[in-house]
Amino acid sequence: ATIHDQKLHRGEGGELHQFAEDGHPVLTTAQGGPVADDQNSLHIGAPGPALIDDFHFREKIFHFDHERIPERVVHARGYGAHGFFETYKSLADYTRADVFQRPGEKTPVFVRFSTVAGSKGSFDLARDVRGFAVKMYTKEGNWDLVGNNIPVFFIQDAIKFPDVIHSVKPEPDRAFPQAQSAHDNFWDFISLTPESMHMIMWVMSDRAIPRSFRFMEGFGVHTFRFVNAKDQSTFVKFHWKPKLGLQSVAWNEAVKINGADPDFHRRDLWQAIQSGNFPEWELCVQLFDQGFADTFDFDVLDPTKIIPEESLPVQPIGRLVLDRMPDNFFAETEQVAFMTQNVPPGIDFSDDPLLQGRNFSYLDTQLKRLGGPNFTHLPINAPKCPFHTFQQDGHMAMRNPVGRVNYQPNSWGDGPRESPQKGFRHFASEEQGPKVRSRPESFADHYSQARQFYISQTPPEQRHIAMALTFELSKVENPVIRERMVSHLINIDETLATTVAEKLGLQSLPKPAQAAIPTRQDLEPSPALSIVKR
């Protein structure tokens, strides 16, 4: 037996391989047939026409031809690791989720970090949001906390997601630029979407170019619910705090690193974990009720808002340690399927319209990306607790029901049954109102928290924001868009707006933007724009 025995597949009965003349296991086809010559295809004469008899050649090329699957429509570039979550204390008063009942309990975890806008082969240090997706394999099924390293989002309603993503991805006619460099489509959309201003402040800040995944925070973004055994609900916001603290790089460093080592972040995580330097985060929560939510001018269901930590401190409830790299990047990191809809009993959704839309999108996209309904049969996606469904068949079915029974109720006394006590009970919130397409007034303030974020930054950090905005907007060709962006900045901070306007060469400050979505008329280039230096 050699090292190959551990790395290669054994026979059904656990038997060892046949060995080739040089002592290595014999190379086989995918059907297990031993291969005599993997260097030369079968043909008549040398050279000569190839023969269809050559099943080894055909299988090898066929499989290679089909190696690619669609990259994720967003967050295509990512890197993952295994680890565990350890609960600090029982949260039974707030949630019946099994994962939060027993101090010291460890739950296996897989985490995937990602950029949002770049393609799978893009570089690591783009100015971009970072995904921070955590799959906890709890004893009551998988819990996916599919978050980002920024606590707010660009849009308030999931129906705008295709628009914001189309605008940030390469433009459809020219197929450039790659995400991280400014372009008219993106800034056009942003400047027409005042609700994005808070997020834009974060994205233009140093937060958007992390030093490594190990120095990043993570956020669940939305307000979720904890629900306890008495079916009482508490609102909860989730935060991941890195034990190493927060660190970013400056833009000029990022540009150099991207050129020298586009894999900088993945190499950092690989090297840290392989050398036993396991990165760690604390999971923290902000817990509150409706009465507390009502004390704010903004709506806690609006994903463009944070709940300031000064108003409601975050409390640590457990820790996440990443201690093992996947054995195979494709099988695990590429095929892992995160879905916001994956919640165990005791964790539930709020009415945040972005979250509600996400709960549809993720299941839908996995069907396409992973090629059918059985992606939960892949080891990385399968629960690690016992599970029993009556689902069957479909492409690549590995876990069909065993025996006669594939439905219930049945008379055979066989198979699983639902459990009102143990099963997931949706929180019975009281809902009422007209069926409308609209947003509440409580979602209307788009500038206060953008301003608070900007003011909370140190002077060098504020300078970086101004430099980033100037750099990005200076690449926008259409002066209308530049000016429209400055008109929003005035509503955030006048000094910031003036600095950016001067650096862009605007001769005077435009009028402050109206928070409302502009009308078609507003979008016509105004004569005042002729004074803008190009």
Which one of 101-109, 330-338, 376-384, 425-433 is the stretch in contact with ligand HEM (CB under 6 A)?
330-338
Which among 198, 192, 186, 158 is positioned nearest to 445, based on CA atoms? 198
- Rounded-to-integer distance, Cα 319 and Cα 106, Å: 9
Q: For 143, phi and psi rounded to 5 degrees?
A: -115, 115
Per-residue binding string, ligand HEM, 114-133, x by CB under 6 A, is x----------------x-x
What is the nearest approach in angstroms of ligand HEM to the Cβ of residue 117? Answer: 11
Q: Specify the residue for token string 């929003």.
A: 488
What is the nearest approach in angstroms of ligand HEM to the Cβ of residue 298? Answer: 16
Which one of 336-344, 381-389, 400-408, 477-485 is the stretch in contact with ligand HEM (CB under 6 A)?
336-344
With CB under 6 A as the contact rule, the residue among 148, 248, 342, 462 that binds ligand HEM is 148
What is the nearest approach in angstroms of ligand HEM to the Cβ of residue 427? Answer: 20
Angle made by CA atoms 429, 353, 435, in degrees to the nearest 5: 70
**Strand, helix or coil for residue 462:** helix
- SS3 of 254-281: HHHHHHHCCCHHHHHHHHHHHCCCCCEE
With CB under 6 A as the contact rule, the residue among 91, 97, 158, 501 that binds ligand HEM is 158
Cβ nearer to ligand HEM, comparing 43 with 369: 369
Check the CA dihedral 389-391-392-394 and report its sign.
negative
Q: Which helix (H) or strand (E) holds 163?
A: helix 161-168
- Rounded-to-integer distance, Cα 393 and Cα 206, Å: 49
The size of the interface with ligand HEM (CB under 6 A), counted in residues, is 28
Q: Which residues are catalytic?
A: 75, 148
- Rounded-to-integer distance, Cα 528 and Cα 501, Å: 14
- Rounded-to-integer distance, Cα 335 and Cα 196, Å: 31
Cβ nearer to ligand HEM, comparing 236 with 473: 236
Query: Does 378 help bind ligand HEM (rule: CB under 6 A)?
Result: no
Cβ nearer to ligand HEM, comparing 134 with 469: 134
Which among 483, 481, 531, 474 is positioned nearest to 503, based on CA atoms? 474
Q: Which helix (H) or strand (E) holds 369?
A: helix 353-369
Q: Which residue is nearest to ligand HEM (CB)?
A: 131
What is the nearest approach in angstroms of ligand HEM to the Cβ of residue 161? Answer: 4
Query: Does 146 help bind ligand HEM (rule: CB under 6 A)?
Result: yes
Cβ nearer to ligand HEM, comparing 180 with 462: 180
Cβ nearer to ligand HEM, comparing 77 with 484: 77
- Rounded-to-integer distance, Cα 317 and Cα 319, Å: 7
Q: What is the dihedral of CA 434, 437, 440, 444, to 10 degrees?
A: -170
What is the nearest approach in angstroms of ligand HEM to the Cβ of residue 364? Answer: 8
Cβ nearer to ligand HEM, comparing 25 with 194: 194
Cβ nearer to ligand HEM, comparing 367 with 517: 367
| Residue 83 identity | G
Per-residue binding string, ligand HEM, 95-114, x by CB under 6 A, is -----------------x-x
Instruction: Say if CB 115 and CB 134 are below 8 A apart.
Output: no
With CB under 6 A as the contact rule, the residue among 89, 106, 120, 369 that binds ligand HEM is 369
What is the per-residue DSSP string for 76-136? -SEEEEEEEEEE-S--TTT---GGGTSTT-EEEEEEEEEESSS-TTS-TT-SS-EEEEEEE
Cβ nearer to ligand HEM, comparing 116 with 254: 116
Per-residue binding string, ligand HEM, 494-523, x by CB under 6 A, is ------------------------------
What is the nearest approach in angstroms of ligand HEM to the Cβ of residue 197? Answer: 16
Per CB under 6 A, contacts with ligand HEM among 65-94 are 72-75, 78
Angle made by CA atoms 42, 44, 47, in degrees to the nearest 5: 85
Per CB under 6 A, contacts with ligand HEM among 197-256 are 221
Instruction: Say if CB 355 and CB 145 are below 8 A apart.
Output: no
Which one of 147-155, 274-282, 288-296, 457-465 is the stretch in contact with ligand HEM (CB under 6 A)?
147-155
- Rounded-to-integer distance, Cα 58 and Cα 262, Å: 35
DSSP state of 381: T
Per-residue binding string, ligand HEM, 339-368, x by CB under 6 A, is ---------------x--xx--xx--xx--
Query: Does 337 help bind ligand HEM (rule: CB under 6 A)?
Result: yes
Cβ nearer to ligand HEM, comparing 158 with 227: 158
Instruction: Say if CB 506 and CB 489 are below 8 A apart.
Output: no
Per-residue binding string, ligand HEM, 407-446, x by CB under 6 A, is ----------------------------------------
Q: Which helix (H) or strand (E) holds 320?
A: strand 315-324
Question: Interface residues with ligand HEM (CB under 6 A)?
Answer: 72-75, 78, 112, 114, 131, 133, 146-148, 153, 158, 161, 221, 303, 336-338, 354, 357-358, 361-362, 365-366, 369
